């Protein structure tokens, strides 16, 4: 995953940064920020799918949980996109997508920090 993380993590951070105008609760992400978010997010999702075809690598529990949250955030988009819920409920699914992704990014940063500290303690 280390080789893929060098490409995935900057894409993930850029995707998160492009969603900043929609972070306050009740504010929709619209216009050019939404287009940028969708473009970078689609590229991120495509690279993440390509990663699925690679041989499995061993990750720590916290890192695995963070990638699970990020992937769950992407899956949360499928429900409103397929029209399985009403428009108002679809908005809740979109907010869930955002918060799962933000939580996953936070845990990914925490796991990197703990891993860096553990390697520094070993040396």
Locate the domains of the chain by residue range.
5-122
Give the closest residue to 5 by CA, choosing from 97, 102, 98, 70: 70
Residues 67-113 pLDDT 10s: 899 999 999 988 998 989 998 898 889 889 988 999 999 999 999 88
CA distances from 30 to 35, 44, 69, 89, 95 (A): 8, 20, 24, 18, 14
Is the pTM here over 0.95, yes or no?
no
Give the closest residue to 37 by CA, choosing from 22, 23, 19, 49: 19
Distance CA 67, CA 49 (A): 12
Biggest distance spanned by C-alpha atoms of the chain: 55
Residues 22-52 pLDDT 10s: 666 667 777 888 888 889 989 998 888 888 7
Chain position carrying tokens 């280390």: 2
């Amino acid at each position: 995953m280390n080789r893929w993380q060098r490409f995935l993590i900057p894409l993930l951070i850029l995707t998160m940064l492009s969603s900043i105008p929609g972070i306050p609760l009740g504010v929709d992400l619209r216009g050019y920020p939404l287009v940028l978010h969708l473009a970078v997010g689609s590229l991120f999702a495509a690279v993440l799918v390509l990663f699925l075809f690679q041989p499995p690598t061993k990750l720590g529990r916290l890192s695995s949980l963070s990638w699970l949250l990020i992937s769950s955030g992407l899956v949360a988009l499928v429900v409103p996109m397929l029209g399985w819920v009403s428009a108002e409920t679809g908005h809740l699914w979109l907010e869930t997508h955002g918060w799962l992704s933000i939580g996953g990014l936070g845990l990914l940063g925490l796991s990197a920090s703990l891993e860096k500290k553990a390697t520094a303690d070993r040396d």
